[in-house]
Amino acid sequence: MILINIKMPIRPDKVDEWLALADSYAKDVNSEDGCLFFQFARSLADEHEFICIEGFKDAGAGATHVKQPYVKAFFDAAPDLVSAQPQIIYIDTPHDGFGPMGEIQPR
């Protein structure tokens, strides 16, 4: 599995545009066969920072992902919305998705 986390700092005056773009983009990416999960979350510490959490089956699924027309559209639109260059963590891991967390279970 490929695990990707990206911090996306968004311009305060562009948050509404960002939310619309992020929503549409996440729906498109989640429809891909090789996508295990894809979502954006808003930071609790900075209301203008969003975290992208992505999981793809393997490098082939990631390569297919970046060739999609909506990925190009997202990459074309995002520079007008970010306030700084996004920061990324990319990990190729033997895991195949999320697993149960042992320390917390519902009571």
Q: If DSSP codes are grouped into helix, strand and coil, which group holds residue 22? A: helix
Q: Which residue ranges in the chain fall short of pLDDT 50? A: none
- Of all helices (H) and strands (E), which one includes residue 82? none
Structural contact between residues 52 and 30, judged by C-beta atoms closer than 8 angstroms: no
| Whole-number pLDDT of residue 53 | 98
pLDDT on residue 18: 98
Residue 65: the pLDDT is 97
Predicted pLDDT at 90: 96
Q: What pLDDT, on the 0 to 100 scale, is given for residue 59?
A: 92
Among all chains, which residue has been given the structure tokens 């990925």? 71
Domains in the chain: ranges and CATH: 2-92 (3.30.70.100)
